[in-house]
Chains A and B, each alone.
Chain A
Amino acid sequence: MAECGRVDSNTSHTMDKSITLPPDEIFRNLENAKRFAIDIGGSLTKLAYYSTVQHKVAKVRSFDHTAKYSDISPPYLYEISMQEEVTARLHFIKFENAYIETCLDFIKDHLVNTETKVIKATGGGAHKFKELIERKLGLKVDKEDEMTCLIKGCNFVLRNIPHEAFVYAKHADSEFRFQTTNPDIFPYLLVNIGSGVSIVKVESEDKFERIGGSSIGGGTFWGLGALLTKTKRFDELLQLASKGQHASVDMLVKDIYGGSYGYLGLTGDLIASSFGKSATADKEFSKEDMAKSLLHMISNDIGQLACLYAKLHNLSRVYFGGFFIRGHPVTMHTITYSINFFTKGEVQALFLRHEGYLGAIGAFLKGAEEDNPNQYSWGENYAGSSGLMSVSPDMNPMQRARSGTFDMLEMDRLERQLVNLPLLQDPSSYIPDTVDLTEDAPAREYWLYCFEEALDGVVKRAVASQPDMPEAALRAEKFRQKYRHKLQTLRQQPFAYGSLTVRSLLDTREHCLNEFNFPDPYSKIKQRENDIALKYYQKAVKSLDELSWEEKQFALVRGVLAGNVFDWGAKAVSEPAFMPLGGQTDFCIFFFIPLSERPWLVDSYDQWLERLKGPPHKCALFFVDNSGVDIILGVMPFVRELLSRGTEVVLASNSGPALNDVTNGELQILTERIAAMDPVIEAGLREDRLLLVQSGSSSPCLDLRLVVLVCDSTSLLFPSRLDKVLAMVVRERQTDLVIIEGMGRAIHTNYYAMLSCESLKMAVIKNSWLADRLGGKLFSVVFKYEVPVGKPNKDCGAFSPC
């Protein structure tokens, strides 16, 4: 049912309040905005628009080495340039209806070049503001059906935002238990609790049906609550309710039975009759108690009906939304309780992080159908999004006081559509992150502290990466403020962006850096280190070739591990005391890296060695980590050995920069240079047995569910000619070995990932806290070679029917 109710049109009141709302912070990138949509509810307005964002990206370009440089050689092997790139972004903003006029004025003043003629509108309040919107913006208001918008929006967030849905558990260690993304979102039941309740069964993108509803909903709580308690505002009613004791108003089973009704298994505390004790004229009841009783009555009733409908239609996924739920822990708790009670735990009540935006998102999508937004993947931008409950007064009093109540969601269009890596054993149960910091309080404490402490260094690095830009310092300062604020928010609301993980902390930092045009703070460092490391490549290969076969295998593994120590993202390594290369020390130190002796913390080297004595793998997919020593002196010789054995190699590197991780662009240049020195690599490239692909990620971590499609199967001379799906490459080449390297990809994420083929996870633990947690010491080694259960150790193609 529609969301109706208070629409405050008191203008003087509006003007008064508007001072506190910072429109320039909220309505970003308005210059190129188009395709507006608006959802006006009973008290909140949600505005959506599409815009393009210009931001800088770091590109690398190889110097021409084919020319004859006998005496003059360029200072570096490639040059770095900053280029402007335009990406698409969706903006969703939520603010109180009181601000609507001010907001419209602001939009009108800042909307420069738009061909937009129409604004899609939905929500119960849309018709009341129709005239105002048309007059202020000069756009024609085009009304869209509310339920259709809601469902469209719901499908969109469920498909695009990881950790969108959560279970609420008031008394658990973490109140929010986020659900892992399941690509199969249908069918589900959406229970929308506005002033009334609508129960909608959604079967596919375009097929949904309102199968039922109830008139006892949010409006009943609000209306009846206002009558009983003389409290006008919905929020205040909820606050009253959270302080009340319903047992003084409700007749419980024990009030009738004196205890439980054992015969039926009804416990004494169950409500037998809501308001059953207030059937008397001569007793006063407190507002709090009545509000609480009312809340229970309504939540239980809705929960019961939802269960009856879920049972009738045999559905187990039930999402709750509407203003009754929106960001209110009290109602999420009572609804959850009710669902648990009525289904005996068989159905879980699910809530959505962006539930408040569904209508606006849906209306926007309706208007943007010609752009086919559903064919793209979209990712939540952590820098531009407020996070869950940013406006909840219980959760975030600070922010509420700071400015008017507003909340934002920004989503970036991903250049590639992301799909699961086909080698995951069970994609539906795969969770990339090793530790969920929302649930692990000590780990959360540590990592938040760690990231906060590292912030100064990151800021310095960012400024240093742009020596020619005098305003870099100012931007870096803004970055510092933004990221610090995010960390503070996460300290208070670890659940703000779904499950909090080391990966999400790292990704948030990358998003914030990009936001302030620091696309690649490590570009210069990477350049220098790549350059130095290249000089030692031949020497390294030569010394390896002098070893016996068995010695060599160990030296190769040790080389990858030692190379991985050179990591600017790691706490221990980014400290000045440990800068072997940055300090221009002789490169020999590479061979004296303080690696721990075997047996390592996790050590299946013997099994790996045994495997190597067997037939070669068909194809290895190698997710690489850092640039410089790591990739050039650690990974490349390892790759070289695989190629020599007759194994094809697919090297997957980041699409965009993250810390000092090697990017696909850089890796292409490096590989080309190495090929010039090394006939094995050269032949590999030429014969298409060595392939460079993008991982699709710009994160130091790795989510194997969201791996790319686009890859560049080239021929370096014709980059990006052939776009091929990585997933396809993996299948075509019958990949039977996955190698994942580094802390971010193999420890923080994927440590427990189960693959359907052999896998090798290698990392050096460069953080003493983490080492401690895992029962090791700083620079402990993880060497985890795994063969899937049921697969013979030898000669087993990933897709062979063994």
Chain B
Amino acid sequence: MAFNGHQRDDDDIIDENETPSKQPRSDKEMPVHFRNEPNSESATTAGRATSDRRTSQSATRHRHDSVKKTRPPFPWFGMDIGGTLVKLVYFEPKDITAEEEQEEVENLKSIRRYLTSNTAYGKTGIRDVHLELQDLTLCGRKGNLHFIRFPTHDLPAFLQMGRDKHFSSLHTTLCATGGGAYKFESDFRMMADLELHKLDELDCLIRGVLYLDSVMSSGPSECYYFENPADPDHCVQKPCTLENPYPLLLVNIGSGVSILAVYSEDNYKRVTGTSLGGGTFLGLCCLLTGCSTFEEALEMASQGESTRVDKLVRDIYGGDYERFGLPGWAVASSFGNMMSKEKRESVSKEDLARATLVTITNNIGSITRMCALNENIETVLFVGNFLRVNTLSMKLLAYAMDYWSKGQLKALFLRHEGYFGAVGALLELLHPS
């Protein structure tokens, strides 16, 4: 976590009038100009073409022929190695011609088969089938995008697998982001003979978010919000799109939290961050309840009651603290009741898990709200794996944004919670910026 982030002022070369703020929503392909390109498996990434993300459409089209040959060979991976989880996106081409099939080396087939025919890998690797994006056109190829995750501490097993499957013989470039891309770079080289192409995690995050929101897949909408956040009985999830999203506060809740102010596709700054994130929730839950997985912790939290653990305003003032407009139900002191021995003895593990979840979530909400005020931004987009299967936190955030801002702030969420960094890394492989 850190404070003032960094302003991408190195990108200020763009003439805004000429730059599309966003990929055309109507087109499923990512970069339109890659349509109908010939296969060129032999092309390498060595001579990367300059980015066309920032140049005008006309200029881009003009350059088409020169970039045609830059489509990288399969397999296409994007990887995000975080503090807790490794997120992997894999593009499975579905338009392989017979000719291609024949030329395809055995390793490549084996990898494809292994990843697509399983939903779990080893003890801890999981493919989020429900997130899979089908019939996607990427770089002129049609296929499915798969979303896979496994704990960072199992990275050695992954590397071992890569070695066993002779991954390095494919001469692919592995685009990786997240801190682990730096930390484990030498492990990739030594254990799996793989060179990583390291990418900044915030660049990838934003790229991934904007891309996934722009591809209209056949499935449910990527972006959604909660209607009636203040009313639990009528609080429902509603789809929406990120149309005219700027300025946007992007809150990425992984192990820790980063908060970015995004002004355009490539103009953003890291406003601040906090170390109280998903890792804190899980870490404290493990210590307090003896659980060991995020799912377990969430399950317990869903059954607990945080008001037995937290001290509320009404516990102190008997009701609302009117002098300062504090409602009686507001938490005055997280874990405040646990100062008393009797109360410590009377709470359940579920209560503790719930209180931990509520504490961490509210705190993120509170810091987010202050950043939104300081940056004068009204749209907040929450992403990150802390929100995976965590409707409780999402509703809490939606409510907190709405309540404390008196309806000014709107909280938005994305279906592919934690995979944007990995998607951004994949995009970088296909379309280097």
* Contact code string A1-39 (vs B, CB < 8 Å = 1, else 0): 110111000000000000000000000000000000000
> Is the pair B286, A278 in contact by a Cβ cutoff of 8 Å?
yes
> Is the pair B335, A256 in contact by a Cβ cutoff of 8 Å?
no
Given A272-B255, A305-B366, are A223 and B335 neighbors across the interface (CB < 8 Å)?
yes
Q: What residues of chain A lie closer than 8 Å to B57, measured between beta carbons? A: none
> Is the pair B179, A256 in contact by a Cβ cutoff of 8 Å?
yes
Q: What residues of chain A lie closer than 8 Å to B78, measured between beta carbons? A: none
Find B338's partner among A145, A217, A223, A290 (CB 8 Å cutoff).
A223
CA distance A258 to B185 in the complex (A): 10
Q: What residues of chain A lie closer than 8 Å to B180, measured between beta carbons? A: 256-257
Minimum distance in angstroms from B106 CB to a CB of chain A? 34
Q: What residues of chain B lie closer than 8 Å to A219, measured between beta carbons? A: 311, 332-336, 339
Find A273's partner among B178, B202, B280, B370 (CB 8 Å cutoff).
B280
* Contact code string B255-294 (vs A, CB < 8 Å = 1, else 0): 1100000000000001010111111101111111011100
CA distance A669 to B270 in the complex (A): 74
Closest to A227 in B: B338
Closest to A278 in B: B283
Given A219-B334, A224-B338, A278-B284, are A264 and B2 neighbors across the interface (CB < 8 Å)?
yes
Q: What residues of chain A lie closer than 8 Å to B406, measured between beta carbons? A: none
Closest to A311 in B: B374
Q: What residues of chain B lie closer than 8 Å to A249, measured between beta carbons? A: 283
> Is the pair A273, B277 in contact by a Cβ cutoff of 8 Å?
yes
Whether a CB of chain A sits under 8 angstroms from the CB of B6 is yes
Q: What residues of chain A lie closer than 8 Å to B283, measured between beta carbons? A: 249, 273-279
Question: Using a CB-CB cutoff of 8 Å, which residues 311-337 of chain B contact chain A?
Answer: 311, 313, 316-317, 323-324, 330-337
CA distance A135 to B324 in the complex (A): 32
Whether a CB of chain B sits under 8 angstroms from the CB of A250 is yes
Minimum distance in angstroms from A346 CB to a CB of chain B? 11
CA distance A195 to B367 in the complex (A): 19
Q: What residues of chain A lie closer than 8 Å to B366, measured between beta carbons? A: 214, 305
Minimum distance in angstroms from B8 CB to a CB of chain A? 10
Find B339's partner among A2, A222, A282, A308 (CB 8 Å cutoff).
A222
Whether a CB of chain B sits under 8 angstroms from the CB of A342 is yes
Question: Using a CB-CB cutoff of 8 Å, which residues 170-200 of chain B contact chain A?
Answer: 178-180, 182-185, 200
Task: Please tell me which stretch of A46-54, A296-304, A517-525 contacts chain B, meaning at least 4 of its Cβ atoms lie within 8 angstroms of it.
Answer: A296-304
Minimum distance in angstroms from B14 CB to a CB of chain A? 20
Minimum distance in angstroms from B219 CB to a CB of chain A? 31
Find A227's partner among B200, B202, B333, B344 (CB 8 Å cutoff).
B344
Q: What residues of chain B lie closer than 8 Å to A272, measured between beta carbons? A: 1, 83, 179, 255-256, 275, 279
Whether a CB of chain A sits under 8 angstroms from the CB of B373 is yes
Minimum distance in angstroms from A580 CB to a CB of chain B? 67
Q: What residues of chain B lie closer than 8 Å to A395, measured between beta carbons? A: none
Given A2-B332, A220-B334, A276-B84, are A226 and B344 neighbors across the interface (CB < 8 Å)?
yes
> Is the pair B316, A4 in contact by a Cβ cutoff of 8 Å?
yes
Question: Using a CB-CB cutoff of 8 Å, which residues 275-290 of chain A contact chain B?
Answer: 275-282, 285, 290
Question: Using a CB-CB cutoff of 8 Å, which residues 106-160 of chain B contact chain A?
Answer: none
Q: What residues of chain B lie closer than 8 Å to A275, measured between beta carbons? A: 279-280, 283-284, 287
Q: What residues of chain A lie closer than 8 Å to B341, measured between beta carbons? A: 226, 232
Given A226-B338, A300-B275, A305-B370, are A271 and B332 neighbors across the interface (CB < 8 Å)?
no
Given A256-B179, A275-B287, A301-B276, are A216 and B255 neighbors across the interface (CB < 8 Å)?
no
> Is the pair B84, A279 in contact by a Cβ cutoff of 8 Å?
yes
Whether a CB of chain B sits under 8 angstroms from the CB of A255 is yes
Minimum distance in angstroms from B182 CB to a CB of chain A? 5
* Contact code string A115-150 (vs B, CB < 8 Å = 1, else 0): 000000000100000000000000000000101100
Whether a CB of chain A sits under 8 angstroms from the CB of B391 is no
Find B359's partner among A198, A215, A342 (CB 8 Å cutoff).
A215
Q: What residues of chain B lie closer than 8 Å to A218, measured between beta carbons? A: 333
CA distance A214 to B275 in the complex (A): 16
Whether a CB of chain A sits under 8 angstroms from the CB of B352 is yes
Whether a CB of chain B sits under 8 angstroms from the CB of A789 is no
Of A214, A257, A273, A277, most B-chain CB atoms within 10 Å:
A273
> Is the pair A281, B363 in contact by a Cβ cutoff of 8 Å?
no
CA distance A304 to B287 in the complex (A): 25
Whether a CB of chain A sits under 8 angstroms from the CB of B362 is yes
> Is the pair A214, B184 in contact by a Cβ cutoff of 8 Å?
no
> Is the pair B275, A224 in contact by a Cβ cutoff of 8 Å?
no
Whether a CB of chain B sits under 8 angstroms from the CB of A592 is no
Whether a CB of chain B sits under 8 angstroms from the CB of A327 is no
> Is the pair A1, B255 in contact by a Cβ cutoff of 8 Å?
no
Whether a CB of chain A sits under 8 angstroms from the CB of B4 is yes
Whether a CB of chain B sits under 8 angstroms from the CB of A251 is yes
> Is the pair A273, B336 in contact by a Cβ cutoff of 8 Å?
no
Given A279-B283, A309-B370, are A220 and B178 neighbors across the interface (CB < 8 Å)?
no
* Contact code string A136-173 (vs B, CB < 8 Å = 1, else 0): 00000000010110000000000000000000000000
Whether a CB of chain B sits under 8 angstroms from the CB of A799 is no
Whether a CB of chain A sits under 8 angstroms from the CB of B5 is yes
Whether a CB of chain B sits under 8 angstroms from the CB of A587 is no
Closest to A309 in B: B370
Whether a CB of chain B sits under 8 angstroms from the CB of A554 is no
CA distance A253 to B359 in the complex (A): 23
Whether a CB of chain B sits under 8 angstroms from the CB of A228 is yes
> Is the pair A251, B255 in contact by a Cβ cutoff of 8 Å?
yes
Closest to B404 in A: A212
Whether a CB of chain B sits under 8 angstroms from the CB of A657 is no
Whether a CB of chain A sits under 8 angstroms from the CB of B340 is yes
Whether a CB of chain B sits under 8 angstroms from the CB of A344 is yes
> Is the pair A6, B83 in contact by a Cβ cutoff of 8 Å?
no
> Is the pair A215, B333 in contact by a Cβ cutoff of 8 Å?
yes
CA distance A385 to B340 in the complex (A): 33
Find A263's partner among B200, B256, B316, B336 (CB 8 Å cutoff).
B200
> Is the pair A227, B279 in contact by a Cβ cutoff of 8 Å?
no
Whether a CB of chain A sits under 8 angstroms from the CB of B310 is yes
> Is the pair B334, A257 in contact by a Cβ cutoff of 8 Å?
no
Q: What residues of chain B lie closer than 8 Å to A281, measured between beta carbons? A: 286, 290-292
Whether a CB of chain B sits under 8 angstroms from the CB of A722 is no
Whether a CB of chain B sits under 8 angstroms from the CB of A608 is no
> Is the pair A297, B334 in contact by a Cβ cutoff of 8 Å?
no
Closest to A282 in B: B292
Of A227, A256, A308, most B-chain CB atoms within 10 Å:
A256
> Is the pair B256, A258 in contact by a Cβ cutoff of 8 Å?
no
Minimum distance in angstroms from B277 CB to a CB of chain A? 5
> Is the pair B332, A276 in contact by a Cβ cutoff of 8 Å?
no
Closest to A214 in B: B366
CA distance A53 to B165 in the complex (A): 91
> Is the pair A258, B184 in contact by a Cβ cutoff of 8 Å?
yes
CA distance A307 to B184 in the complex (A): 35
CA distance A232 to B345 in the complex (A): 13
> Is the pair A6, B335 in contact by a Cβ cutoff of 8 Å?
no
Whether a CB of chain A sits under 8 angstroms from the CB of B72 is no
Q: What residues of chain A lie closer than 8 Å to B286, measured between beta carbons? A: 278-281
CA distance A275 to B6 in the complex (A): 26
> Is the pair B182, A259 in contact by a Cβ cutoff of 8 Å?
yes
> Is the pair A6, B340 in contact by a Cβ cutoff of 8 Å?
yes
CA distance A290 to B283 in the complex (A): 11
CA distance A274 to B283 in the complex (A): 8
> Is the pair B82, A220 in contact by a Cβ cutoff of 8 Å?
no
Whether a CB of chain B sits under 8 angstroms from the CB of A571 is no
Whether a CB of chain B sits under 8 angstroms from the CB of A72 is no
Whether a CB of chain B sits under 8 angstroms from the CB of A186 is no
CA distance A576 to B370 in the complex (A): 70
Whether a CB of chain A sits under 8 angstroms from the CB of B235 is no
> Is the pair A124, B316 in contact by a Cβ cutoff of 8 Å?
yes
Whether a CB of chain A sits under 8 angstroms from the CB of B3 is yes
Whether a CB of chain B sits under 8 angstroms from the CB of A196 is yes
Pick the 6 closest A-B CB pairs, nearest first: A223-B338, A275-B283, A258-B183, A256-B179, A273-B279, A219-B333
Given contacts A196-B333, A210-B324, A257-B183, 9 further A-B contacts (CB under 8 A): A215-B310, A215-B332, A216-B276, A216-B334, A220-B334, A223-B334, A275-B279, A281-B291, A301-B276
* 10 A-B pairs whose Cβ atoms sit less than 8 Å apart in the complex: A145-B323, A216-B334, A223-B334, A249-B283, A250-B275, A264-B6, A276-B279, A279-B283, A281-B291, A281-B292
